[in-house]
Structure 1
Amino acid sequence: MHTHYDHTYTHNHSNNHTSNNKKGLTIALIITSTIMLLEFFGGLITNSLALLSDSGHMLSDAASLALSLVAMWIATKPVRSSKTYGFHRFEILAALFNGVTLFIIAGFIISEAYARFWEPPTVASGSMMIIATIGLLANIMSAWVLMRKGDVKDNINVRSAYLHIIGDALGSVGAIIAGFIMLVFGWYVADPIISVIVAILILKSAWGIIKHAIHILMEGTPLTIDYDKVIKTLIGIEGVKNVHDLHIWTITSNLHSLTCHILIEDLKNEQEILNEAILVLEEKFNIKHVTIQVEKSDTIHSKLEV
């Protein structure tokens, strides 16, 4: 049995990512909170559901950004004897919560839009477009900061916050389009219709985050790793006869773990095969947290349950 860690690389690489993610989230939080207040009071003044719904979405964004920052702080807490993997999973829980809040907000928007659809109120469309444009520019700036500073591709926590901001940007675009239609044609029903379209787009993004977070919490194989290819690669090592009890899961974003049993030929050197297996798993699959039990024909263990 052997457990392999690349302490220096993992520590430095992780610290750099975490620092950049924190900077990106902090800047995005400041921008989002400022524009949220602008859109909220602007929505009240112009009587625009599109602006009010977008400000409500931005409130959720501000909360999600703050939660993401808290999750990163908690994830850095040291390992305890009662929590041997530390608190990394809190980032996944934060992402799941963010996805659920997106669903709730989209539901409120659709509900309010339905009520307004039959009797659409008059909206100050010109002022609404100006405020929505400011909101859109702020969302673009926040998204740009997160893309430059944060890891929106592989870190599900940062990605969930990023998708909140993209949802905001869609809301602002929707408000601008609705404002233009109302200004030119006087069709005030455009306000609730556009709001519903934006809500549906938000739901699509939210479902992706929720599904991914649940997959991780259920110890699913990382989406970027081919389970069968891992088996073929290990069996391809000279002297390996069989690979079984293989488990691959994600502890948190960019931190995968693997355990397995490898049956080797009796005359082969265990350490040589073990070292080659550790190396190939890191080089081909970027799995650094590896535990492998090397077995020979006389190894006896009870039947494995999973």
Structure 2
Amino acid sequence: MGHDHAHGAGGNRRRLGVALAIIAVVLVAEVVGAAVSGSLALLADAGHVASDIVGLVVALVASTIALRPATDRHTFGFQRVEVLGALVNGAILVVVAVGVAIEGVRRLLAPEETHVAGLPLLVVAAGGLLANVAALLVLRGGDRQSLNLRGAYLEAMGDLLGSAAAVIAGVVILTTGFAPADAIASLVVAALILPRAAALIRDVVRVLTESAPRDTDVEQIRAHLLDTPGVVAVHDVHVWAITSSAPVFTAHVECDPEVFEEGRTGPLLDELGECLQGHFDVTHSTFQLEPAGHVDRGESSHR
């Protein structure tokens, strides 16, 4: 399991590094384009991209720390650092979305202060759109394995949406001269970013509060374990996740007395572990085997 996680985290780190390089090029292009054209829209989007680069750096550092091995003090290793990185990314997304929304409203209320050069905006935004598509393709797939990478993916998605909105605004400004199109596009982007940021933060909170993973049915797991020959009851069930791709399961399992008398505890533990891994993709499980009727007074309040 440790090797698999290290391999996955290493792959995530490479994805983040490539995406960071691509988005950094977008930032430089937008800053130069804004300086040449005087476009406030490009400068604002460059600020958006800069905040995303900060988020990607946080994600990259978190992925690197997560590769460190477990120690006597950090017995699960540093895998949960990825979750903390995702929390930072989620917070950045919220700040960016709120900032873009505020600026968009300000421009709508004071259109006379908004001067956007349509052609430079369109050219640079189109280049940014292509670069962001490339970054998303690099991050694609890893976002389903790691909350940290999912945060980076959402930030790249926000950049793509920002570039797409800027392209549309550039076309509208060039063809109609309607300058407020830029502010309207910004509000659309903010409205698209906020729900994704909220969903990311919700999943981070689920991990940090050690709630059962969203796709885990505890009663179904209990039913599978009870179907195992020799198992009489299952209680004190706890399911949580170290990080998004590392669920953990513990339980007390009451067995027929024959299991202990015949020395079948080892095979039973193997069968229970294989049940969880095969049906529920849980590779880290711990079972306390007890004779039928045994009650642990210290744990009796748990299910």
Tell me the TM-score normalised to structure 2 length.
Answer: 0.92
**Which residue does 1:291 correspond to in 2?**
286
CA RMSD of aligned residues (A): 1.6
CA deviations 1:201-230 (Å, max 9, x no partner) are 111111111111111111111123221110
> Which of 120, 126, 139 lines up with 2:119 in the alignment?
126
**Which residue does 1:181 correspond to in 2?**
172
1:47 Cα deviation from its structure 2 partner: 4.4
The 2-side partners of 1:181 and 1:124 are apart by 11
Determine if the alignment matches structure 1 residue 199 to structure 2 residue 190.
yes
Determine if the alignment matches structure 1 residue 93 to structure 2 residue 84.
yes
The 1-side partners of 2:152 and 2:109 are apart by 34
> Which of 6, 19, 25 lines up with 1:28 in the alignment?
19
The 2-side partners of 1:72 and 1:258 are apart by 24
The 2-side partners of 1:39 and 1:26 are apart by 20
Determine if the alignment matches structure 1 residue 139 to structure 2 residue 122.
no
Contact 1:50 1:194 in 2 (8 A): no
Name the stretch that deviates more: 73-82 or 94-103.
Answer: 73-82
How many residues were matched structurally?
A: 295
1:54 Cα deviation from its structure 2 partner: 2.2
CA deviations 1:240-293 (Å, max 9, x no partner) are 111111111111132111110011122233333222111111111111111100
The 2-side partners of 1:74 and 1:83 are apart by 12
The 2-side partners of 1:270 and 1:44 are apart by 72
Equivalent AA in structure 1 for residue 15 of structure 2: G
Equivalent AA in structure 2 for residue 232 of structure 1: A
CA deviations 1:63-109 (Å, max 9, x no partner) are 11111111111112232222221211110000011001000011111
Segments of structure 1 that go 5 or more residues without pairing to the other structure are 1-9
The 2-side partners of 1:52 and 1:207 are apart by 26
Over 3 Å counting, the alpha-carbon distance change for 1:19 and 1:80 in structure 2 is closer
Equivalent AA in structure 2 for residue 198 of structure 1: V
Tell me the TM-score normalised to structure 1 length.
Answer: 0.91
Name the stretch that deviates more: 265-274 or 173-182.
Answer: 265-274
Determine if the alignment matches structure 1 residue 215 to structure 2 residue 206.
yes
Segments of structure 2 that go 5 or more residues without pairing to the other structure are none
Percent identity between the two aligned chains: 35
- 1:260 aligned counterpart, secondary structure: strand
Name the stretch that deviates more: 166-175 or 246-255.
Answer: 246-255
The 1-side partners of 2:225 and 2:270 are apart by 12
- 1:267 aligned counterpart, secondary structure: helix
1:300 Cα deviation from its structure 2 partner: 4.2
CA deviations 1:14-57 (Å, max 9, x no partner) are 23322221211111111111111221342354444442332222
CA deviations 1:155-189 (Å, max 9, x no partner) are 11111101100110000000011111111111111
Q: Equivalent residues in 2 for 1:224-239 (5 A)?
A: 224-239=215-230
Name the stretch that deviates more: 83-92 or 42-51.
Answer: 42-51
Contact 1:50 1:171 in 2 (8 A): no
